[in-house]
Copies of this chain bind each other. A is one copy, B any other.
């Protein structure tokens, strides 16, 4: 066995070099039970000398705890980790998990299948955070395994699933209220995919507010986009701008910032002045919203808070600690910038 066939030291090696049993070594490492000071010091010394590291796998095997949590992000399209919305949630999860001494497995599941879940269910993790939309059959499947899990910003009607969400109805309401109070009476809406809970609720509550003010938003004032990205926002404007302005709309509300930003890009290429000729408003408050010119007015969603809280709740689930609400909601807030 050459130098390249480096073998990591085991507890046995430490025990033999320290002249004690491996039980004793284990005790000093985990700092439980009684150990004489002499034994402890001897063991510590050897551990440092050899740079011994306990094998986490072996430890997980007996303790039945991995100290890992799994994050599965269900997204059909890229980006995933670098997504301006989900990426922020992920960042907060990584941070919170680190401070609670969990490691994080990150998986993406573009097929929204059982595959990623299966991987995690092979006892690799103590608990699971599911982000974004996933199918009911996946939820049922996971539940079957009795592993602690929760959903962040998903779309399920299932009352039993522990869930962290943004109050999208409140956000839609705030957006509509703000635009209405700013004098807008004819607003064009770019609506993201309606099978997504967020886009659906944002659109509905926005419309509901306007309706209550006696303003009905007709079919010709809503553009339904199958995707919620920049390109689609651009395309939405490209296809509708002419008629939109003929019908004297004074503002555009998009159900997320990416759509709004895409729309803005098109308008700027056409030298349309924002907000003078038309106001634009988004939803999410992604980083980029404040970086463009004019900066985008939007509804701020507590992405970081949601990610952070998801780890705290999961930790309690794992440790079987006291009850917690099935549903944790965060209230979004209006952020007024230059585009309106």
Which A positions have Cβ atoms within 8 angstroms of B? 4, 6, 8, 51, 53-58, 60-61, 66, 68, 78-84, 87-88, 90-91, 94-95, 98, 103-108, 118-119, 121-124, 144-146, 230, 261-262, 264-265, 268-269, 287-288, 291-293
A-B contacts, 20 of them at CB < 8 A, read A6-B145, A56-B122, A56-B124, A57-B60, A61-B61, A78-B91, A79-B87, A81-B90, A81-B106, A82-B82, A82-B83, A94-B106, A98-B107, A103-B107, A104-B107, A106-B106, A230-B291, A269-B293, A288-B288, A291-B292
Given contacts A61-B61, A230-B291, A291-B261, contact A82 B78 (CB under 8 A): no
Query: In the complex, what distance in Å separates the CA atom of A119 from the CA atom of B94?
Result: 14
Which listed residue, B4, B90, B262, B291, touches A82 by the CB 8 Å rule? B90
Task: Give the Cβ gap from A234 to chain B, nearest Cβ, in Å.
Answer: 9
Closest to A101 in B: B119
Closest to A54 in B: B122
Contacts of A262 in B (CB 8 A): 291
Which listed residue, B82, B122, B145, B264, touches A55 by the CB 8 Å rule? B122
Which listed residue, B57, B91, B265, touches A291 by the CB 8 Å rule? B265
Closest to A97 in B: B107
Contacts of A264 in B (CB 8 A): 293
Query: In the complex, what distance in Å separates the CA atom of A104 from the CA atom of B103?
Result: 10
Query: In the complex, what distance in Å separates the CA atom of A269 from the CA atom of B337?
Result: 13
